[in-house]
Amino acid sequence: VVSTQSTWGDWFLQRMTHRLLNETGVAFGSSNAGTGVTVYILDTGVSAHSEFGSRLQSTGFDGIGDGNRAFPTCHFHGTATASMAAGSTLGMAPNAKIASVRVLDCSGSGTTSVIVSGINWVIAQHKANPGAKSILSASLGVPYSSTSSCRDLVTENALKAAMAAGITVVVSAGNDGVDAGLCSFGTVDTAFIVGATTSTDYRADFSNYGSNVDIWAAGDLVRVAYTTSSTSYAVASGTSFSAPLISGVFARFLSDGVSASTLEQTMKSTATQSQLRDKVNTATYMPQNLLGYAGSNPYTHNYITPSPSPSPSPKTSPSPSPSPSPSLSPKTSPSPSPSPSPSPSPSLKPSPTPSPSPSPSPSPSPSLKSSPSPSPSPSPSPSPILNNPTNSTTCTTKLTGKLTGRNSYAYTEMYYCPKNCVNYANLNGPTDFDLYLYKYSNNKWQPIAWSIGNTGIESIRKEDSGWMRWYVISASGSGQFDLCIISPDFKTVQHTW
């Protein structure tokens, strides 16, 4: 359990509200933040906590009947997941109402019949209030087994019925490190299935993966509300905590007037794209490379695309040794790791929380896109290498893009520049656009050179080695630009390690 004064584990707030890794501060977009939306927490029950106040509805569902009612303190899991969805300081939707649907007992276990009864209660509540905006957040599942079925078709059908009734259903992908399509409830194709990422934008080792995962959100060593008191917190890991973050983002959309029928499209179109990595194979394990986003301008996505030829193909070359990520202070996750029930019927449990482990070495993301988030501020040191603009037309790769106003920016995919490599590019923009060269160093992207004249005609030539990427940032104005990369040749350099 972490001190109530600690903010260790709050990194997810920055990551869910910024386009780039390691940007500081929390920058939620203008929103009603869940006003008028009810998030139903299908779990171990939600206890009273300072994160919720009066927004925790007094009427809940208790399918356990052990005297703890719908608001127990005997298991933290439901309270923790609720804090990620709608906590006042931790949640994505701090104005949403929270309804406790207790279907798991004090050990974190439940039965199909009780869980289905809880889902049916949610459906009844939704139908009893015409026009209600409802989200069902389900951080539970059937643990993977190589010797018996891990499917619960009865509960899967109940979740589908909730979707059919107009309720948005969000499900955790599971924590067995296997394909999410193998076990319930990552198999519910009409639900929104969420995997877990680390603070370095990797897939968390424990997270289930594959094409059934619709989106990703923070879930490794995150701070959550705890149940030892109404002001206690803990640090925990699991897709159980990723799913409610997405539930909270959905609540923000609903309160802003997005229709339930277009929520999934809106979530995917506003997500941060192509930033995530997998230590084994990103394309296979994370084909939906989307990170949930609740930042300051969630409705705009622009991309830089090569012109006129297709995207260059990276050439395999020896990989550099990335710097290891800093070690984390030892923390003990309060969540037990339940094992599958030996009974023939599947055991339904909160997605088990794995023991915390050091995050993998961070890798810069290979995306090729632009974002309207505030521009990164150039560092005052080291001194940049500035050059007069040139009229060279010997582009090894020509990229085109569009910026949408002051402080909007675009950046190229990363590339590896070996020893004695020259980074050389010219920018041709319609107004006051600036050119920056960033290097991945000390676990973050940092500017090492920039050309910031009063026009959109800029040039940088800088000899340096390591992982690099080019940025184009609007000091003022908007419009289309051309970026002529002269050196190195994007078609031959390495783009992934």
Catalytic residue among 77, 126, 242, 459: 77
Residues 44 and 225 sit within 8 Å (Cβ to Cβ): no
Active site residue 274: no
Per DSSP, the three-state class of 228 is coil
Helix spans in 276-412 (H): 282-285
Per DSSP, the three-state class of 79 is helix
What is the spatial distance between Cα 90 and Cα 223, in angstroms, rounded to a whole number? 8
Catalytic residue among 43, 62, 105, 201: 43
Place of tokens 């933040």: 33
CA distances from residue 208 to 94, 174, 239, 285 in whole angstroms, order as listed: 28, 5, 8, 9
Q: How many CB atoms lie within 10 A of CB 492?
A: 13
Active site residue 77: yes
Catalytic residue among 240, 242, 247, 335: 240
What is the spatial distance between Cα 269 and Cα 254, in angstroms, rounded to a whole number? 15
CA distances from residue 38 to 65, 242, 253, 255 in whole angstroms, order as listed: 24, 18, 13, 10
Residue 438, strand partner residues: 447, 469
Q: How many CB atoms lie within 10 A of CB 190?
A: 13
Active-site amino acid positions: 43, 77, 240
